[in-house]
Chain A
Amino acid sequence: MKASYFGPMGYSERSKFPDTWPIPASYHEPKTSVESYQEGIEECEFAEEMGFEWVSFSEHHYSGRIATGNPALMAAAVAERCKRVKIALLGQLLPLNNPVRAAEEIGMLDNLTNGRVIMGFLRGTPNEDQTYGVNPNEGRARLLEGMDLVIKALTEPQPFSWEGRYYQYRTVSVWPPPVQQPMPPAIVATRSDDAVRYAAENRLGLGISFIPVQTMEKITSKYYQWCQDAGWQPEPDQRVYRGSIYLAETDKKADEWFDSLSGPQSRRRLGMSAAVEQAVQAARTGDQFDLRNIIAGSAQGDVAGAAPSLSFMGGPDTVVNQMKAFHDRCGTGVVDLFFQQPRTSHKEVMREIELFGKEVLPRIKEF
C-alpha cells in the first residue's frame, strides 16, 4: 500500500471560521494566507522526504479549509518543489468546469512534471454546485459527459468538434498533449453506481473518500465485479481511498485530542441555510451516496468535525490496523491522507507526517 499526502493548503486560522459555507473573504488576512500556502507546500515536501509516493490536490471553492479552487495551479507550484512524487489531481470538478480547459491543465501539468500526473474526476459535494451556478440536477450527467470529453481531448491526435448534451465545442485541439501516452492514469472519484460502472468499463481507477470501511467494501465489490465483466483487474494504484487522519504517539493521546474538540462537530448540516440545503438536495434526488453531513470545505466537512468522518485515528499500531482493514476488505492500494484537521497547527501536522513516515509507512508498504 502506498501513501499520498493530500494538500488542502488550509488557512492556518481556519479554526476561527464560522461553521457556514461559503467563508466570507472578510476573514482573509494576506500575511496569514501567504504563510499558510507556504506551510502547506512545506508539508508536501516533508511528506515526500518521509516516503509518501503521491501528493494530491482537490478542487474546492470558497473556503479556506481547503484553499485550492484551482488544483492544477496548486499542483504546478508544488511540483516545482517536489521532484519525485506523483502529482495527483483528485480531482477536478468536471460539472463545474469547461472540460476542455481541464484537459489543457492536465496536459500542461503532465509536461511540467515530465509525466508524473495522475488525473481524477469528480462531481463535488452539494455546496460545490452553488459555486458557478450549475443546476445540481445536471451534475451527474455533466460528470459523465465531461469525463468522455476530457479523455477524447487528451487522446485525439487531430482537431475535432464535440456535440454533447451539455458541452458543444467546435474546435478542440489540446496542446500540449500529455507526456504519458495515451494519457495519464485516471481515477474516477465517486460512490455512485453509474460513475463506478463508467470507471470499470473504461479501465479507469476508482477513488472513494471519507466513508467507513464496510461502506467502501460494498462499493469496491461492485467495481471489481464490473471490472471483471469488462475483462480486466485494476492495479493497486487504481484503488484509492481518501481519509482523514489524526496520528498520535499513542491511542491515549489521540483520544485526548479528540475529546478536546468541541463545537461544530455536533452540527449535522451543510453549512448553508436550511432553504438552500433543501433545494440542493432536492435537485440531487436519487444520489444515494450524498453524505448529507460531509461537505468539503465546511466545518463538518471531510475532516474531523464529526467523528464518523475521521477515517484513521490513534497511535501507529492502531492506524496501521485501520489501514490494513481497507487494504484487506476493499483492496485499497493507495491511502490519500488528510492531516490538516481544523484545529491542528502546521507544527502538529509536520510532527504527524514524521511519525507516519517512521512508524506507519514502512508497515503499510508491506501490504
Chain B
Amino acid sequence: MASKSPEITSAFQETLLEVDGLTVRSFEAGQGDPVVVLDTLSWGLTSVHLALAQSFRVVVLQLPGFAAGAPGEASQSVKDLAGTMAEAAALSGVAEGDSTGAGKYSLIGTSFAANVALWQAIQAPEQVEALILISPTIIRPTGIVPSGDREQMGRSLLAHPDNQESLTRIDVAVTAQEHELAQRLLDGGPSPVLSQETEDRLGEVQCPTLVVFGLQDKLAAPEAGSILREKLPNSHLSFIYDAGHAIALERPEALAGLVVDYVARQETFIVSQDDGVINP
C-alpha cells in the first residue's frame, strides 16, 4: 500500500509505466514546475509529497518491484536502476511543457532512492534542474541494517521509536526489501566509506544540490553529510532537528518546508524572506 492516508492517496493519480521490462508505479499530482520524486514508498505517500504537489507538478516514481515481490531484479547496479528511472521520468511526461522549455525537472530521492537519484544526476545531467538527497545511504555506518519486526526497524529508522504514530507508518516488508536491494546494488556493500567510483563522480554533479539528514539518522555515517557537502560542488547540507532516518514520519512539516523552498529557490533559499516587522 502506497499510503495509509486516503486524503493523500486521493490527491494523486496512479499510472503504471513499463520501462526496461519493469513496471514502475507513478503517482502524479499538482501543477507548476516539474518535480520527480524517486521513492521506495517504504512509508507510503506522505504529507511531504502532498506539500510538493501544492506548489509543483509532482511525479512520484516508485522504484520497480517494491509493490510486490523481489525488487529490481533486472538491475545489476544502482547505475542501471538510475537509467531505468530516468527513462520512467521521461515516459511520465513530467517535464513536457516545463516553463523554461528545457525539459528539466527537480529530482528528489529518499534513503536508498537518493542513491539512485544521485546516479541519475551523474548520468543524465541534462535532465536535472536541481537535486535533493533526503537521508541518502551513500555513506553508511558499519553493521546497521533495518531488519526484524516493526519495533526493531523503528529503532533504526526513528529518533523516537516509541512514537506509535510514526512506527505504524513503516511498511516492514518494503523497508526490508529496500535494504536488501541496497546491500545488493551498492558497490562495496554496507560500508562506512564512500566507494571510490561514487566519490570520483560526485564532482560531476553541477546542479544545485541539497543534502538533508535527520540529526539522529542512524543509517548514515556521522560524517556522511560533511563528506557529501565537501565533494558535491554546488551543494548545501541541512539537518532536521529531532528526526531520524525517516524524516517524513517525524518532522514532515519541517522537511516539506525545506524541500518546497529549495525546489522553488534553489541555492537562494538561504536568503530569508520572513517578515520581521511586528507592527508597522
Contact = CB atoms under 8 A, between A and B. Distances in A.
Contacts of A158: 225-226, 229-230, 237
A165 B242 contact: yes
Interface string B222-252: 0001100110000011111110000000010
Interface in A140-179: 145, 148-149, 152, 156-165, 167, 170-171
A163 B269 CA distance: 13
A163 B225 contact: no
Contact of A163 (B229, B230, B257): B257
A163 B270 contact: no
Contacts of A149: 241
A152 B241 CA distance: 10
B272 A163 contact: no
B242 A160 contact: no
B8 to A, nearest CB: 22
A274 B238 CA distance: 44
Interface string B244-270: 000000010011011000000000011
A197 to B, nearest CB: 13
Chain B: interface size category: 20 to 34
A79 to B, nearest CB: 31
Contacts of A165: 241-242, 254
Contacts, number: 55
A160 B270 contact: no
Contact of A161 (B238, B251, B255): B238
B194 interface: no
B2 interface: no
B49 to A, nearest CB: 18
A160 B257 contact: no
A174 B270 CA distance: 16
Taking each of A157, A163, A170, which has the highest tally of chain B beta carbons within 10 Å of its own beta carbon? A163
Contacts of A161: 236-239, 258, 270
A159 B272 contact: no
Interface in B119-177: none
B110 to A, nearest CB: 16
Contacts of B221: none
B239 A162 contact: yes
Contacts of B254: 163-165
A170 B269 contact: yes
Interface string B41-74: 0000000000000000000000000000000000
Contact of B241 (A156, A159, A163): A163
A162 B239 CA distance: 5
A304 B225 CA distance: 50
Contacts of B225: 156, 158, 160
Contact of B251 (A152, A163, A171): A163
B241 A162 contact: yes
Contacts of A152: 215, 239
B257 A156 contact: no
Interface of A: 145, 148-149, 152, 156-165, 167, 170-171
Given A161-B270, A170-B272, 11 more contacts: A152-B239, A156-B225, A158-B225, A158-B230, A158-B237, A160-B229, A160-B239, A161-B238, A163-B238, A163-B257, A165-B254
20 contacts: A148-B215, A148-B242, A152-B215, A152-B239, A158-B229, A158-B237, A159-B236, A159-B237, A160-B238, A161-B238, A161-B270, A163-B241, A163-B251, A163-B255, A164-B241, A164-B254, A165-B242, A167-B241, A170-B270, A171-B270
